[in-house]
Structure 1
Amino acid sequence: MEEKNSRNGATDKRKFAQSDAPCEVVHEKKYPKGIRFILLTLALMLAIFIMALDTSIISTAIPSITSEFHSLDDIGWYTSAYLLPLMSLQPMFGKIYTFFTIKPLLIASMLVFECGSIICAIAPSSYVFIIGRVVAGVGAASIYAGGTIIITSAVPLRKLSMYLSALSSMYAVANLSGPPLGGIFTDSAKLTWRFCFWINLPLGFISIAAFVFILQEPERETVQISWKTKLSKVDLGGTTLFVSSVILLFIALKFGGNESPWKSPRVIVCFVLSGVFLGAFIILQRHLKEDATIPPRIFLNRSVASSVLVAALLSLGCNVHTFYLPFYFQSAKGTSASKSGLRLLPYTLSLTGAELVVGTSSSLIGVFLPFMYFGTSLFAIAGGLLCLLKVQTTTARIIGYQILAGVGVGSSMQLCATSVRAAVNHSDIPIAATLTIFAPFFGSAIGAAISQNIFRIELRRGLAKIMTAKDALEVFDAGGAGVDRITSAINKGQVRESYNFALSKTFMIAAVAGGVAFLLTLCIKWRTLKQKAESREEDVPKQLQEQHGKIESHTV
């Protein structure tokens, strides 16, 4: 990039420098430096943090939420209602930020997220709570897209990876702090679980104030096109078809085998319509070609498809563990919400530590597949061990199993993005990278639906063996944190055993996901990072020019 200092000459490099120089000038003029830039970066990190915190803080609070709302049947919705819009709307918001003004969109997104948090905090019922989660998820999707585009436009290319890593690190911080905080708030008689959402208000408004007074709209090369053309390029039709397909699939998985038989018209129609909408989405993407949200040539790449599926499966399994381990601690072991959050730390700490070690090691060595083989196989083994948890299992074993699972996920999931980027041409990296963002959210959302179904079926089956239907209904109404509050002559020890039985069956989902993920890693072609890095040095300036202002370029 040193050619930028040259303003004259006839060589291709000098011509490129002349065309690229205005882009740098725009950055120097429009974006704050010094304290202003530091404050803007911190505000973006805070915005990403509260968005990520909304995913993790709820894990230790859900048993108490189900007890208050008598809504054990809705536990899957509490996660998926947030994750579904978060993962499915990101590509659309990425294109919206490409064609529309960034600053007001980002501020509006923060306000939408705050409104969703308020709805959750004051929710009088499970239904209203789920609506609040959906609203917050819509805002979070736009926040993530807007945050990455701001950082990408505000820093030089040579520093881009560092600042994107700073934003991504907020997920690690949220994963570490979320469960303990959720447990502390839930156990507090004054704060209760509702403070898990009230806390978003002061933190969010700090970011909003910073965006209002510090953020400046970047100057981007624009083409005067009509609103109709802009909306067509956003691919609203594709987004609608895909979201509809995912929602119908989730509904089918929620009701099938639980509230309705798998062969019931209700479930079959949902599955069929989900497939129809997905097929229509694929056809539309093929028709749109380069304007498609996901160009078919990218996902048809074997290594890309395998890596994306591995990321989705690992996220699915990890979500099952982090979501239902608090149920194990509170409902089967009888611990408090705050203690269950602390007992989850071995999982989150080992996951974060493995990410740091493996990320550094793979960069130094120049290969990534051996780490993916190790991580996915270890996660499959750990998933199987967690299925063996009993009410009497010692703390040392529980910690050991969690560490194995955390190291397995941390050693492999982040490398799925590396694998995707190594498998495509440099010009396709921005678009392909969006898939690596989408996949974990998709896996978590679908995993929540499947695990909820298995958990409810197995818990009902276990309770039916030891008590009457009336007593079983009382246990369900008590919720995950209400076993100790059951007042009838029900044997609480047997209830805990029933919870443990249901949870062990639920954890099998994660074990299977880990095993399939390992098999899929065998389909990824062997590549080294050093060759890719050398060729990327030559191509990335052109890539940045072509993708400047697009959300995909912020996820590279």
Structure 2
Amino acid sequence: MSALPTTATHEPEAPIISAVKSNASAENRVHGLKLAILLGSLTLVTFLSLLDTSIIGTAIPHITSEFHSLPDVGWYVGAYTLGAATLQPLSGKLYAYFPTKAVFMGFVFFFELGSLICGVAQSSTMLIIGRAVAGMGVSGIFNGAITVLSAAVGNEKSPLYFGIVLGTSQMGIVCGPLIGGALTEHASWRWCFYLNLPAGGLAVLILAFIHFPELAQKKTFSMALVRKVVPELDLIGFLLFVPPSVMFLLALQFGSGNTHAWNSATVVGLLVGSGVLAVIFILWERRMGDRAMLPGSLVKQRMVWVSCTYGMCNGCCMMIASNWMPTFFQAVKGEGPTLSGVHILPSILSQLSAVIVSGALISKLGYYLPWALGGGIIMAIGNGLVSTFTATTSVGQWIGYQIVVGAGRGAGLQAPLVAVQNAVKPSQVPIATAFLVFLQNFGVSIGIVLSNVAFTQTLTQAIPLYAPSVSSQAALDAGAGAGAVRDLVRGHEDELSGVLRAYSEGLRNIFYFLVGMSCIAVVLSLGMGWVDVRKKKDSTKSTGDNEAQEKKVEEKSLNEA
């Protein structure tokens, strides 16, 4: 352990960054048709990456029926977000040291490769591997798009183009359930992933012929540069982070899927091993300090860790609900994938509306804490209302309750990002933002598996109680497709209501879990700080004006001399 690097002798990223000169000059900007093509290509790639987060929701019931893999549902989303989380802290450093174009294309390649593996998957395990690879690719796509645009248009125009890219990309979340449902019902669920290949391939082909400006001059790629950069990436931290995360998720899957008992040597061993390796990871990160994958000085700031944890709770509520609501409409209501995608639009549209309104009012009124607090409260109420869904829930109820929960999620969605960016120095904003995204993705990975545990455990206990002729294992093997669920009671259809009740109770417990996450978010919001972001902008402007005035006085004195 004595050979480990410490922060006492190294400044974060100093060996390379100090030698890099700014390259953000006006002649380096992109204009006209080239900018339009660059903007369109980046928007297409980011759109596909967000589409991939929601398109699978309406396909999951059919996937579980085909692979007989209901206990694996958590991994279909968890592997994607875990892959994105593990590489998120490293992606920013890769963009800082290596050519932006090469790094961005590399991340897009991994996203496309993961989509291909998912499309040709012949087993649930193969699909999970594909989702993990695609998630690793997504981890650097948004960072790359923002980095490219910053260099291409300059700081003064960046907010406008960021808004175009991120706003358009958000439509992927809206379109995902509709596209996924239509492809699953009229073609195959595999086209949810094949879709990324031609669209992403076209974007890559266009980007290959476009010059990517750099924010800073970078050294020519060489093995010497690689040897110098590798210590800055904290690859050991990355390698120590993955095993305990995977072991913990595996323990939850094995225990909930009836493949192993919760007190079996396999599950207990995985949990204990995960805990031990997690302690080793924490000790390593503490020793690395600001050179760590998760910089200690940043993580320790109250407003940072509180805001990021709030963002994690909000992200869990959003992603878990979006991937389980189609199961309610298909398994319980008996609808097809396309219609189930249409019927979750109330929550998605209300969420997007709340995001736009809250963002505009935060900019105008200055305070983000009321939106974080109010969003958490509304989100808790909405999840509580959704937990009452049953086979007899009326159309007016499931529309109205979804609007409430979507509005709560949207109202608080931007608050943690605004809080984090105002809690740190400007130079720390990229690292703090990466930490926020990392914690959101990692939290969703854990949360989605925990929600799957709640569902499968409830289902296996409720099925024998409400439909004695149906075995718990048969229900798990059937998945959540409307036809497969109803085939469970073929020949004794009088027990269908019992089966639907069992599925409803499984979903009810998932939303109980989300109520708990929402309440945690409410408490956390109180620690995000009562900060007026307008004052910070005004003070920054005043500081700039004072510096400019001082510079003029100095120049005048020199001229007189």
Fold conserved (TM > 0.5)?
yes
Where do residues 394-405 of structure 1 align in structure 2 (5 Å cutoff)? 394-405=394-405
Please tell me whether the aligned partners of residues 426 and 540 of structure 1 are also in contact (alpha carbons under 8 angstroms).
no
Q: Indicate whether 1:138 and 2:136 are aligned.
A: yes
1:549 paired residue number: none
Where do residues 108-507 of structure 1 align in structure 2 (5 Å cutoff)? 108-188=106-186, 191-216=187-212, 218=214, 220-222=216-218, 226-256=225-255, 258-259=257-258, 260-468=260-468, 471-481=471-481, 482-486=484-488, 487-489=490-492, 491-507=495-511
Please tell me whether the aligned partners of residues 318 and 510 of structure 1 are also in contact (alpha carbons under 8 angstroms).
no
Q: Deviations over 1:231-254 (max 9, x none)?
A: 111111111222223222222332
Q: 83, 86, 89: which is aligned to 2:84? A: 86
Structure 2 portions without partners, runs of 5+:
1-18, 546-561
Deviation at residue 522 of structure 1 after TM alignment: 1.6
Question: Which range is displaced more, 99-108 or 495-504?
Answer: 99-108
Please tell me whether the aligned partners of residues 32 and 214 of structure 1 are also in contact (alpha carbons under 8 angstroms).
no
Deviation at residue 537 of structure 1 after TM alignment: 4.2
Quote the Cα distance in structure 2 between the aligned partners of 1:252 and 1:57.
27
2:41 paired residue number: 43
Quote the Cα distance in structure 1 between the aligned partners of 2:476 and 2:229.
50
1:513 paired residue number: 517
2:16 paired residue number: none
Quote the Cα distance in structure 1 between the aligned partners of 2:313 and 2:452.
16
Quote the Cα distance in structure 2 between the aligned partners of 1:76 and 1:67.
15
Quote the Cα distance in structure 1 between the aligned partners of 2:141 and 2:116.
17
Q: 1:140 to 1:357 in 2, by over 3 A?
A: same
Give the letter aligned to residue 169 of structure 1.
Answer: G
Please tell me whether the aligned partners of residues 104 and 141 of structure 2 are also in contact (alpha carbons under 8 angstroms).
yes
Give the letter aligned to residue 424 of structure 1.
Answer: V
Give the letter aligned to residue 249 of structure 1.
Answer: F
Question: Which range is displaced more, 468-477 or 338-347?
Answer: 468-477
Quote the Cα distance in structure 2 between the aligned partners of 1:539 and 1:192.
59
> Cα RMSD (Å) of the superposition?
2.3
Quote the Cα distance in structure 2 between the aligned partners of 1:248 and 1:91.
21
Question: Which range is displaced more, 153-162 or 483-492?
Answer: 483-492
- Percent identity, please: 32
Quote the Cα distance in structure 1 between the aligned partners of 2:83 and 2:240.
13
Quote the Cα distance in structure 1 between the aligned partners of 2:520 and 2:94.
36
Deviation at residue 108 of structure 1 after TM alignment: 3.0
Q: 1:274 to 1:170 in 2, by over 3 A?
A: farther
Equivalent residue of 2:140, what SS?
helix
Q: 1:391 to 1:22 in 2, by over 3 A?
A: closer
If the length of structure 1 is used for normalisation, what is the TM-score? 0.88
Quote the Cα distance in structure 2 between the aligned partners of 1:130 and 1:200.
17
Give the letter aligned to residue 185 of structure 1.
Answer: L
Q: Deviations over 1:384-436 (max 9, x none)?
A: 11111121111111111111111101001211111112222333222212122
Q: Deviations over 1:104-130 (max 9, x none)?
A: 332233222222212211212212111
Please tell me whether the aligned partners of residues 71 and 256 of structure 2 are also in contact (alpha carbons under 8 angstroms).
no
Deviation at residue 489 of structure 1 after TM alignment: 2.8
Quote the Cα distance in structure 1 between the aligned partners of 2:543 and 2:273.
43
Give the letter aligned to residue 245 of structure 2.
Answer: V
Quote the Cα distance in structure 1 between the aligned partners of 2:216 and 2:201.
27
Quote the Cα distance in structure 1 between the aligned partners of 2:518 and 2:165.
27
Q: 495, 520, 531: which is aligned to 1:527? A: 531
2:549 paired residue number: none
Q: 1:165 to 1:269 in 2, by over 3 A?
A: farther
How many residue pairs end up in the alignment? 519
Give the letter aligned to residue 220 of structure 1.
Answer: A
Q: Deviations over 1:447-505 (max 9, x none)?
A: 11100111000011111213457644333322200223444435222211111111111
Equivalent residue of 1:158, what SS?
coil
Deviation at residue 21 of structure 1 after TM alignment: 10
Q: 1:291 to 1:473 in 2, by over 3 A?
A: closer
Deviation at residue 143 of structure 1 after TM alignment: 2.3
Equivalent residue of 2:466, what SS?
coil
1:551 paired residue number: none
Give the letter aligned to residue 211 of structure 1.
Answer: L
If the length of structure 2 is used for normalisation, what is the TM-score? 0.87
Quote the Cα distance in structure 1 between the aligned partners of 2:538 and 2:242.
39
Deviation at residue 22 of structure 1 after TM alignment: 6.3
Q: 1:523 to 1:193 in 2, by over 3 A?
A: same
Quote the Cα distance in structure 1 between the aligned partners of 2:244 and 2:156.
40
Please tell me whether the aligned partners of residues 40 and 215 of structure 1 are also in contact (alpha carbons under 8 angstroms).
no
Give the letter aligned to residue 124 of structure 2.
Answer: S
Deviation at residue 323 of structure 1 after TM alignment: 1.1
Deviation at residue 258 of structure 1 after TM alignment: 4.7
Please tell me whether the aligned partners of residues 303 and 420 of structure 1 are also in contact (alpha carbons under 8 angstroms).
yes
Quote the Cα distance in structure 2 between the aligned partners of 1:314 and 1:285.
26
Deviation at residue 24 of structure 1 after TM alignment: 3.5
1:97 paired residue number: 95
Quote the Cα distance in structure 2 between the aligned partners of 1:350 and 1:24.
39
Give the letter aligned to residue 532 of structure 1.
Answer: K
1:16 paired residue number: none
